[in-house]
A and B are shown apart, each in its own frame.
Chain A
Amino acid sequence: MPVVTICINGTDREVEEGISVAAALVNADVWQFRTAVGGEPRAPICAMGICFECRVTIDGRPHRRSCMESCRQGMEVVTGD
């Protein structure tokens, strides 16, 4: 598979093109995808677009479901919001 570079929380990482952003985060050992209303770290439980626990900011757009988006060259991902 071709490799692309994406930026996760300010650090560039090479990932296989087309894998989901959620998969790329797990592979980067990032487990806090978002912060819950009460402050707890959260990560996906469904990985198929229904739980919305995997929301991250992608290319400046908040609340994107990382399990539903594929990694593209130059993508910027910010987690923890």
Chain B
Amino acid sequence: MTETLEAGTVIVGAGPAGIAAACGLGEAGEDVLIVDEGPRSGGQIWRHRPGSGPPKAAQAWLARLSATQVRVRHNLTVVDARPDGTLLGESEAGPVEIRGSRVILATGARELFLPFPGWTLPGVIGVGAAQALVKSGAELRNLEVVLAGSGPLLLPVASLLASQGARVGLIGEQAPLGEVLGFGAGLWRAPGKILEAMRYRSRSLGARYQTGVWAVAAHGDDRVREVVLTDGRRTWTRRCDLLCCSYGLVPNVELARWLGCEIDNGRVVTDEVQQTNQAGFFCVGETTGIGGAELSLVEGEIAAAHISGLAEALPPLEKRRALWRRFSKSLEKAFRPRRELAERVQPETTICRCEDVTCENLDPEWCIRQAKLYTRLGMGPCQGRVCGPAVHYLYGWASDSVRPPLKPCRLATLSER
């Protein structure tokens, strides 16, 4: 039996952007339904351990949300959409049809992973992934941890892991010192951020924070045991049980793409009020470009204010959005993955983890379609979510198509229509 859900506005994603949009709409008395793939509201950034409260920044928003009539449906994955805009999802119980007069996409982002020898070893994980794992209940006590990635997430994650009893040996930032300092200076334009960074920095004392350092290889047996690091001149080895290696975030644009929304440079294009080129389809948060929770929140607020007809609320929100978009630009510039990260790949290095396609199986002269046809790259369960951005970085292959099911699902979900 197919379950049917209907609402005036359907929001896909219960992270900061989706929650902010839902709060605005709910408080204006609109009929709103949020669907989310995870078991709890908050998305990635506001994820919290079961039994412990959400982070402070999230509490006010979650309280606002629960004071509205907004319905939230968890553990529901959107896997397809009909031409009329009806979304098709899968819950534990079976297929679900989701209809809304309008849809707000707040599907967030994932981490950027770049292949290097040994990156498939158990224990090599994303920086945000380590955070997510801990906040889902993992205990990493006494593990030796090396973080060798990029971006402002490194410090808070190092701090979280240290507070859980992990021994954080090194925090390696691949971006050069000059870029990181330039980014720090730019933070004065975004009040609060610099303090946040300093606080995290001091709490994670005991670990060294080094810029211009990256991992070139991981070694181990049934899991990672050591990492080879470099600063471009010197190379050294460090023991570790957990190696956090990711290089910022990539917008999750698959659903937007399938709905026909315009995508530019890997992000969904929106107008002043966050509407996509498809009338009635809005997009807010990281899916429109990586900028952090504050930008996500204000984009959600803007979409809600527009939909509820509160035009007078828009100018101050747009001003705030402009501020955080500047922050977003400096973030992108400062932590852009250096080219040396591509030079780590060896002939036998796995590029597509689902189908075990190695570098030597691929010809840089191909396009992504040829790679798919000849090697099955990007055609496994993750559907290119991991290797797609990697081959874009390595070979310039752009993913320009998507097809349902957007995530693997049961056959019954597709057949019971």
Contacts and interface: CB of A to CB of B under 8 A. Distances in A.
Contacts of B248: none
B121 to A, nearest CB: 8
Contacts of B126: 45-47
Contacts, number: 125
Given A50-B386, A51-B382, A63-B381, A36 B137 contact: no
B139 interface: yes
A31 B133 CA distance: 13
Given A43-B122, A53-B353, A23 B223 contact: no
Nearest to B44: A48
A32 B109 CA distance: 26
Nearest to A26: B138
A81 B109 CA distance: 28
A52 B381 contact: yes
B356 to A, nearest CB: 4
Nearest to A39: B356
A50 B386 CA distance: 8
A22 B133 contact: yes
A48 B100 CA distance: 26
Contacts of B355: 37
Which of B119, B136, B139, B140 is packed against the most chain A CB atoms within 10 Å? B136
B385 A18 contact: no
Contacts of B408: 52, 63
A70 interface: yes
B133 A26 contact: yes
Interface string B103-146: 00000001101000001101111101110111011111000000
A75 to B, nearest CB: 13
A49 to B, nearest CB: 6
Interface on chain A toward B: helix, strand, loop, or mixed SS? loop
B354 interface: yes
Nearest to B354: A52
Interface string B287-302: 0000000000000000
Interface string A1-24: 100000000000001111110111
Interface in B271-294: none
Contacts of B75: 68
B39 interface: yes
Contacts of B136: 19-20, 22-23, 47, 67
B129 A45 contact: yes
A13 B133 CA distance: 19
24 contacts: A1-B51, A15-B137, A16-B51, A17-B50, A19-B137, A22-B136, A23-B134, A24-B137, A31-B122, A31-B123, A36-B353, A37-B355, A40-B120, A41-B223, A42-B120, A45-B125, A45-B126, A45-B386, A49-B37, A50-B252, A52-B380, A53-B353, A68-B38, A70-B39
